[in-house]
Structure 1
Amino acid sequence: MRIGVIMGGISSEREISLMTGREMMVHLDRGKYEVIGIDIESPGDLIGKVKGIDFALLALHGKYGEDGTVQAALESMGIPYSGSGVLSSGLCMDKNLSKRLLRAEGVSTPDWLYWNGMKDYDAEAVKERLGFPVFVKPNEGGSSVGTLPVASEEGLKEAVMEALRYDTSVVIEQYIEGQEITCSILGGELLPVLGIRSNRSAWFDYKAKYETGGAEEDVIALSADTEARVTAAALDSYRVLKCGVYARVDMMMREGIPYVLEVNTLPGMTRASLLPKSAQAAGISFGGLLDRIIELSLHEREANRRWHRPSGRSPELGREREEGSVAVYGH
C-alpha cells in the first residue's frame, strides 16, 4: 500500500505539522507500506502531489488541514484518509461552534464570549460575564499559537489583537483553575488519561507542548466517580462532534468536574505529543498506533462510502450509523 504522509500546510502550525509527519514516517512499517512524504506548501499542491497514493495519512494541523478542507478534496478524488470526516473536522476546528454543541448536549465547558473581530470588542462584557483571568484564543487555531492568558482588563486588548493575527475571530474563555488532563480516544475507546503539568511556564503553552522537558505528562489516577465523569465527558464529546477513528479531548478538572476545553481531530504525533504517550501507556507502540489508525480509517471511509450509495444499503449498516461511530468500529 502506497501511504502518502501529508504534512506541512499553510497554517501557523506548519512547523509542528512537519514534525508530526517526519515522526510518522520514521515509525511506519516499511514491510507493510511504501511511504511517501508529501509537503503541502500551498492549497494548489494537494491534487498534483497525491496522485498515485492509496491512502493519505494526515499529519496536517490548523486551517487547510484540520478544518475539513483537505478531507473534502481527498473525498472528491476518491482517496481514503486518516481520522475524522469533513463535518467533524470543521466542527472541532471552530471553538465557538463546538462549545455551543457541547453545552447543548450537557457537556461542561468553560464559559466564553465570541468576537468576530475588533468590532465586537467589549471589555466590560468580559468583566461582567467571565471575570478575570481569562484566556484569549484564535477561534480556529491550535498548538496554543496566538493564545494568551489575561490577568486583568489592562492586557485584554493587546491579547485580542495578537489572537487576531492568526484568525478573523476570537474566543474569550473563562479561566478554570485546576488539573489539566487529556483524554485520547482510539476507535471509540478511551486510552489512559494523562495529567499535565508545565515545567517552564504557568500554563501549557507552545513551549511546554513541544520542547523537550517542557511539561510532565503522566497517567493520572482518578477516583472511580471522577473517572466515570471524565470518561463520559470524553466519549460524549467524541460522539456529539461526530469524531471518527481517533481524537484527543483536552479538559480542566475542578472539584472533580471535567470541563472540556477542545477536541482535536488531528492531534500532534511528535515525540513530545500526548496521543502516542497515552497509547504507549496502553501497550501500543508508535508503529502499532499508526497501523490501527490506518486500519480504522479504511474501515470508516468504506462504511461512509457504502452508506452514501444510492441503493443497496444494508439495514445493519444503517443501524450502526444511527448508533454513532463507535458502532461502526465494532466496539
Structure 2
Amino acid sequence: MIKVGVIMGGVSSEYEVSLNTGREMLKHLDRSKYEGVPVVIHSREELIEGVKGLDFALLALHGAYGEDGTVQGTLETLGIPYSGSGVLASSLCMDKHLTKTVLASKGVHTPAWLCLDRMEDLSLDAVERLGYPVMVKPNSGGSSIGMTKVNSSAELRSAVEKAFAVDRSVLIEGYTVGEEITCPILGGTLLPIIGIRSLGADWFDYNAKYELGGAEERVIQLPAGLEDRVRAAALACYQALRCTVYARVDMLVKDGVPYVLEVNTLPGMTETSLLPRSALAAGYTFSGLLDEIISGSLGERRGTVAQEKQGVISYG
C-alpha cells in the first residue's frame, strides 16, 4: 500500500482554503490502495519533518510556498515524488506577470496589464491608457484575496496599497467584460468546460468563490468554433508553461475570443471545486480523479529522474 501524505496548510493567505482541499482529498483517497496521512505545515521545517517515511506527497497547498515551486524543489531534494507540475511550471504560473508575458509571446490573448514592484512605480497616466475599470491584484496571490475592481483614479492608490499588503508585486489589468469560463486539464486532455456567473457581485470575488450561493458554476457546451479556440488556447497555455499532470486555465470570452487570466497548477480540490466538478462530468469519481493525479504524477517524476540520470535535466 502506498503511503500518501496530504500536504496542507502552508504560509499563505489561502491557508484555510488549503485545509479544506486537504480534508477532501483525505476523505476520498481509495483506502484499498493508499494509506492517507494528513501533514499540516506552517513552515519549511515542518514540511521536512512531516514527509519522513512517505511514498508520495499529494499537494493540497495554495499560494506562496505551495504553488510557487519551493515545496516542489524541497521534495525533489528529499527524493519524495509529489503531485502535479514541477518546479519551473509551478514558479511560472504562480507569477501572473511572467505567465502573461510567456502567453503573449505565444500569441495567446490575455488582458493588457501593468506590473508594479513598488508603490513608486504607480503611474496614473499608464493606468489611464489601460482604461478604467481595471482589476488590481497581487501578482502571486490567489482566491481573489487582496483583489479590487477599480472604477476611477480616485480609487486606485488604496487598491494598490491593499494588494501590496499581501504581495511584493502588484498586477493592474484591464477589466474585460465577457463570459467567465474555466478549462480543467488532466493528463494533457481538456476536461468539460465550466461556465461561471457571479450571483450578486459584479466579478468573481472571494465570497462568490467560497460562499454558498455566491456563484453559478456549471458545465457548458460552447459553439463548435469557439470551443476549438478555447481548447487551443488552454492547451497552448499548458504546454508553453510546462505544466504536467493537471492544471486549470481561467479565461474570459469576449466577442468570440478567449482571453486567458491565469493558470492554476494546484487548483482547489474540494468536492464542489471546479476541477472535480468538471472531472465528474467526464466520468471520474473524486477517488478516480485522485488516482489519475497520483499515477500521472508518479509517472512524471519517474520520467524526470530517468532523464536526469541520462544527463537530460527536466524541470517540467
Q: Identify whether the pair has TM-score above 0.5, normalized to the shorter chain.
A: yes
2:145 and 2:272 map into 1 onto residues whose CA distance is 17
Name the SS of the counterpart of 2:309 in structure 1.
coil
Taking structure 2 as the reference length, the TM-score comes to: 0.97
Does structure 2 retain, via aligned residues, the 8 Å contact 1:210–1:273?
Answer: no
2:306 and 2:23 map into 1 onto residues whose CA distance is 33
2:18 is the counterpart of 1:17: yes
Q: CA shift at 1:220, angstroms?
A: 1.4
Letter in 1 for 2:17: I
2:231 and 2:270 map into 1 onto residues whose CA distance is 25
Letter in 1 for 2:105: A
2:312 is the counterpart of 1:307: no
TM-aligned CA distance change 1:272 to 1:214, over 3 Å: farther
Q: CA shift at 1:117, angstroms?
A: 1.5
Aligned to 2:162: 162
1:199 and 1:81 map into 2 onto residues whose CA distance is 36
Aligned to 1:139: 139
Does structure 1 retain, via aligned residues, the 8 Å contact 2:271–2:286?
Answer: no
Q: Which runs of 5+ in 1 are unaligned?
A: 326-331
1:174 and 1:270 map into 2 onto residues whose CA distance is 30
Aligned to 2:93: 92
Q: CA shift at 1:107, angstroms?
A: 0.4
Aligned to 1:150: 150
Q: CA shift at 1:177, angstroms?
A: 0.2
Name the SS of the counterpart of 1:308 in structure 2.
helix
Q: How does 1:46-61 map to 2 (within 5 A)?
A: 46-61=47-62
Does structure 2 retain, via aligned residues, the 8 Å contact 1:210–1:272?
Answer: no
Name the SS of the counterpart of 1:44 in structure 2.
helix
Does structure 2 retain, via aligned residues, the 8 Å contact 1:111–1:174?
Answer: yes
Taking structure 1 as the reference length, the TM-score comes to: 0.93
Aligned to 1:224: 224
Count residues in correspondence.
315
Q: How does 1:172-251 map to 2 (within 5 A)?
A: 172-251=172-251
Aligned to 1:288: 288
2:252 is the counterpart of 1:274: no
1:310 and 1:299 map into 2 onto residues whose CA distance is 17
Does structure 2 retain, via aligned residues, the 8 Å contact 1:92–1:263?
Answer: yes
Name the SS of the counterpart of 2:44 in structure 1.
coil
Does structure 2 retain, via aligned residues, the 8 Å contact 1:211–1:272?
Answer: no
Letter in 2 for 1:172: I
Q: CA shift at 1:245, angstroms?
A: 0.2
1:188 and 1:42 map into 2 onto residues whose CA distance is 32
1:189 and 1:136 map into 2 onto residues whose CA distance is 32
2:261 and 2:272 map into 1 onto residues whose CA distance is 20
Q: CA RMSD in A?
A: 1.4
Q: CA shift at 1:213, angstroms?
A: 1.8
Q: For each residue in 1:128-166, what CA deviation from the matched residue of structure 2 results, as whole angstroms up to 9, or x when unmatched?
A: 2x1000000101111111111111111111100000111
Does structure 2 retain, via aligned residues, the 8 Å contact 1:95–1:140?
Answer: yes
2:27 is the counterpart of 1:45: no
Does structure 2 retain, via aligned residues, the 8 Å contact 1:69–1:86?
Answer: yes
